[in-house]
Amino acid sequence: MLIPALDLIDGNVVRLQQGDFARQTTFASDPLPLVQAYQGAGAQYLHLVDLDGARDPAKRQTELLRRISASTTMTVQVGGGLRSRQDLEQLFDAGVKRAVIGSLAVKQPHLVQAWLNDYGADAIVLALDVNIAADGKAYVATHGWQETSNLTLNQLIDSFAADGLRHVLCTDISRDGMLSGSNIALYAELKRRYPQLIVQASGGIASLDDLRQLQAVQCDAAILGKALLTGKFTLEEALACWPAA
């Protein structure tokens, strides 16, 4: 599946390079026309990142998320500073179908494990952002990519296996927002080691060939952000080479 993505700050659609707020580009002052365009093109899923909520949960754009969810039949998943059960309930009450959990999976794994058990595996997506070390191992980063943990990607996924983890959104930080191509080897290894997971590839996708390569290694989904916003290809073109299952 192809999942168009919109990052939101103060109601605007933006993109950050490698998570750096100092390298922000604004693409639209209203996300709703883009949401409708993506649905019209045939998308069945939508990924939203509430960057205001990521910086300060008290500033979560809940009403905007509610309006977006109400405006579309796409399955909406949202990430950005989710730290408590109340945060999740707020999202689900706003019509969001999946909560995307990042740093908390490293810092408070028992809490996230409880959510997987309480809400079900289809309601939780682990967003595991990684730095690739010199030895080739992928280490999970936290706190908006400002810190790198001692946990490898495989170690973290293994720690959630008993709780029915199903959805993993994995981003190679070095490629995010750079349009430099996807880290195909990373996703190939993930699918080889964890065939039961639904893996969402994120970061660097810049061409239709990137999508074909992801399909070739059995990756389940691709997050499309900057490539769509900058016109590298259209969602219709992408869906034509990666039709819905």
Question: Catalytic site residues?
Answer: 7, 129
Longest CA span, the chain: 46
Report the candidate in 85, 68, 88 with the shortest Cα–Cα distance to residue 11.
68
Distances in whole angstroms, Cα of residue 97 to Cα of each of 57, 71, 94, 140: 19, 14, 9, 25
Q: Give the residue carrying structure tokens 């349009």.
A: 179
Q: Give the residue carrying structure tokens 């997971």.
A: 197
DSSP annotation of 29: S
Beta strand residue intervals within 57-214, DSSP E: 75-79, 98-101, 124-132, 138-142, 147-152, 167-172, 198-202
